[in-house]
């Protein structure tokens, strides 16, 4: 058999990495107002003052992380030129499924040098971990910015968000200063915090709205000029990617994924130019890929509840009440060999999480004295893709 790679001599991509998720552009487009708000919130660091606490809100793919990294790089650079500014330490932690102890432990270990002992995973109290964190900070002095990504997934965020902003006022820090930057997809996260935490935080809020088609076209054009060889794409293909993503999620990540996949489709068909047809063919691939990744990130019971709603959707039994979903869920879990959750409340909690994450749509129904007020749920993504992903995960 001939070498299968021998005939591959041409590519439409100049630098495919520019269309990857980890790529960070040198220039941030279409987020001028958010950058200005971020600048105003961070400026006290330049004068040796206590950093502000900042909460960043917005859906996935709207630039929260990219702008935050851009602002941290810019702030680090400017601090070097300011005599009044204290040394700046930036530490970023993803809080997904973290306890407060695990988060504090991760912060301690990110501050310590690689040659230092790591803080233990278990066996110590959260209070001791916080005291250790404060000691590490004071030893190094300066201003600390703790970026807590997916902060809404942190168990008991009240305790951490009450302790850190008050650390200096309570005498836990003497030479160091601290500010918290919380990043969340959940716009209602603040409302879940206790009143005393809200009063303590006094945070600046920056909301990232979904991109519109014009903004996405601007971002894609910048990426395409660097990612592809000359004349490798039609401008209409760029516009179509932007239009599809704007109509769906307003996510730059989705638009960029669609453009990259369109390039792959064009190459598979030995085309010299990416056209609208290639983007249309790529759309289904990207959609299914997004569903698979999102489903895979959920807990096993979150997945099982989602699969249940997908099955009800295909049977035309949605919108469905949580009690109906629970009954079907028990069958789904048992068929896959999992022990089902035993309370309706636990099912409702998963339904609420899946709704917040954009998997489900929830509507409130009032059926009067007979039925009372209740919620009904239905799927907002492709049911077949959900079931296909679940089969793949169970067979892995």
CATH number of the domain to which 84 belongs: 3.40.50.300
Strands 204-208, 54-58: pairing kind: parallel
- Residue ranges at the known binding site: 62-66, 211, 223
What does the pLDDT average to over 221-235? 97
Query: Per the domain annotation, does 351 fall within a domain?
Result: yes
> pLDDT category, 261, cuts 50, 70, 90?
very high
Q: Is the pLDDT of residue 156 over 90?
A: no
The greatest distance separating any two alpha carbons of the chain, rounded to the nearest whole angstrom, comes to 75
Domain endpoint, select from 190, 208, 226: 208
pLDDT of residue 162: 93
Of residues 2 and 283, the one with the higher pLDDT is 283
Query: Per the domain annotation, does 3 fall within a domain?
Result: no
Q: Is the pLDDT of residue 8 over 60?
A: yes
Q: What is the CATH number of the domain that holds 235?
A: 1.10.8.60
Task: Say if residue 76 is in the same domain as residue 203.
Answer: yes
pLDDT of residue 372: 62
pLDDT of residue 44: 96
What residues make up the domain containing 93?
32-208
Q: For residue 10, which of 228, 298, 191 has the smallest C-alpha distance?
A: 228
Task: Say if residue 258 is in the same domain as residue 346.
Answer: no
Task: Say if residue 302 is in the same domain as residue 279.
Answer: no
In sequence order, the 6+-apart residues with CB closer than 8 A to the CB of 199 are none
Of residues 97 and 70, the one with the higher pLDDT is 70
pLDDT of residue 381: 85
> pLDDT category, 368, cuts 50, 70, 90?
low
Task: Say if residue 321 is in the same domain as residue 333.
Answer: yes
Q: What is the CATH number of the domain that holds 332?
A: 1.10.10.10
Task: Say if residue 302 is in the same domain as residue 291.
Answer: no
pLDDT of residue 2: 67
Query: Per the domain annotation, does 62 fall within a domain?
Result: yes
Rounded to whole angstroms, the Cα distance separating 25 from 252 reads 13
pLDDT of residue 10: 84
Instruction: Count other C-beta atoms under 10 Å from residue 225's C-beta.
Output: 12
Task: Say if residue 48 is in the same domain as residue 178.
Answer: yes
Q: Is the pLDDT of residue 212 over 90?
A: yes
Rounded to whole angstroms, the Cα distance separating 369 from 197 reads 39
Query: Per the domain annotation, does 2 fall within a domain?
Result: no
Cα dihedral 30, 56, 286, 351, rounded to 10, equals -150
> pLDDT category, 334, cuts 50, 70, 90?
very high
Task: Say if residue 177 is in the same domain as residue 96.
Answer: yes
> pLDDT category, 370, cuts 50, 70, 90?
low
What does the pLDDT average to over 332-339? 95
What does the pLDDT average to over 380-389? 89
Task: Say if residue 190 is in the same domain as residue 308.
Answer: no
Task: Say if residue 329 is in the same domain as residue 282.
Answer: no
pLDDT of residue 287: 80
pLDDT of residue 371: 58
> pLDDT category, 293, cuts 50, 70, 90?
confident
Q: Is the pLDDT of residue 312 over 80?
A: yes
- What percent of the chain has a predicted confidence (pLDDT) above 70? 97
pLDDT of residue 367: 61
Task: Say if residue 119 is in the same domain as residue 265.
Answer: no
Query: Per the domain annotation, does 8 fall within a domain?
Result: no
Query: Per the domain annotation, does 176 fall within a domain?
Result: yes
pLDDT of residue 266: 97
| Total structural domains within the chain | 3
Rounded to whole angstroms, the Cα distance separating 30 from 254 reads 16
Rounded to whole angstroms, the Cα distance separating 304 from 254 reads 26
> pLDDT category, 138, cuts 50, 70, 90?
very high
Token couple for 107: 């912060």
In sequence order, the 6+-apart residues with CB closer than 8 A to the CB of 373 are 364, 365, 366, 367
pLDDT of residue 69: 95
Query: Per the domain annotation, does 14 fall within a domain?
Result: no
Cα R_g (the chain), whole angstroms: 24
Domain endpoint, select from 174, 208, 242: 208
Query: Per the domain annotation, does 77 fall within a domain?
Result: yes
Domain endpoint, select from 295, 326, 360: 295
Task: Say if residue 187 is in the same domain as residue 278.
Answer: no
pLDDT of residue 396: 75
- Residue ranges at the known binding site for ATP: 62-66, 211, 223
Task: Say if residue 357 is in the same domain as residue 325.
Answer: yes
């Amino acid at each position: 058999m001939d070498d299968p790679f021998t005939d591959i001599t041409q590519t439409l991509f100049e630098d495919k990495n520019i269309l990857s998720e980890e790529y960070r552009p040198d220039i941030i487009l279409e987020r001028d107002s958010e950058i200005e708000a971020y600048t105003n919130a961070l400026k006290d660091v330049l004068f040796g003052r206590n950093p502000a606490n900042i909460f960043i809100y917005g859906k996935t793919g709207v630039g929260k992380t990219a702008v935050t990294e851009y602002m941290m790089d810019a702030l680090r650079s400017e601090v070097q030129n300011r005599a009044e500014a204290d040394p700046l330490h930036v530490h970023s932690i993803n809080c997904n499924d973290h306890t407060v102890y695990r988060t504090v432990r991760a912060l301690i270990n990110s501050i310590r040098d690689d040659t230092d002992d790591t803080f233990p995973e278990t066996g110590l109290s959260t209070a001791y971990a916080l005291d250790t964190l404060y000691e590490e900070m004071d030893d190094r002095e300066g201003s600390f910015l703790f970026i807590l990504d997916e902060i809404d997934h942190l168990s008991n965020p009240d305790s951490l968000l009450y302790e850190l902003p008050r650390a200096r006022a309570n005498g836990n820090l003497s030479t160091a200063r601290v500010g918290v930057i919380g990043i969340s997809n959940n716009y209602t996260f603040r409302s879940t915090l206790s009143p005393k935490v809200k009063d303590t935080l006094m945070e600046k809020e920056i909301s990232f709205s979904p991109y519109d088609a014009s903004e996405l076209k601007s971002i894609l054009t910048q990426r395409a000029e660097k990612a592809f060889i000359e004349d490798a794409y039609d401008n209409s293909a760029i516009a179509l990617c932007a239009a599809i993503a704007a109509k769906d999620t307003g996510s730059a990540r989705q638009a960029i994924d669609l453009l990259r996949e369109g390039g792959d489709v064009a190459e598979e068909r030995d085309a010299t130019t990416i056209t609208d047809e290639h983007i249309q063919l790529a759309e289904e691939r990207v959609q299914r890929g997004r569903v698979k990744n999102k489903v895979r990130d959920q807990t096993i019971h979150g997945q099982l509840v989602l699969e249940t709603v997908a099955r009800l959707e295909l049977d035309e039994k949605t919108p469905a009440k949580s009690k109906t979903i629970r009954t079907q869920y028990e069958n789904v879990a048992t068929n896959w060999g999992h022990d089902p959750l035993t309370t309706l409340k636990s099912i409702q909690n998963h339904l609420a999480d899946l709704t917040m994450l954009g998997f489900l749509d929830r509507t409130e129904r009032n059926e009067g004295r007979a039925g009372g007020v209740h919620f009904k749920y239905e799927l907002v993504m492709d049911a077949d893709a959900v079931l296909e992903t679940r089969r793949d995960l169970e067979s892995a």
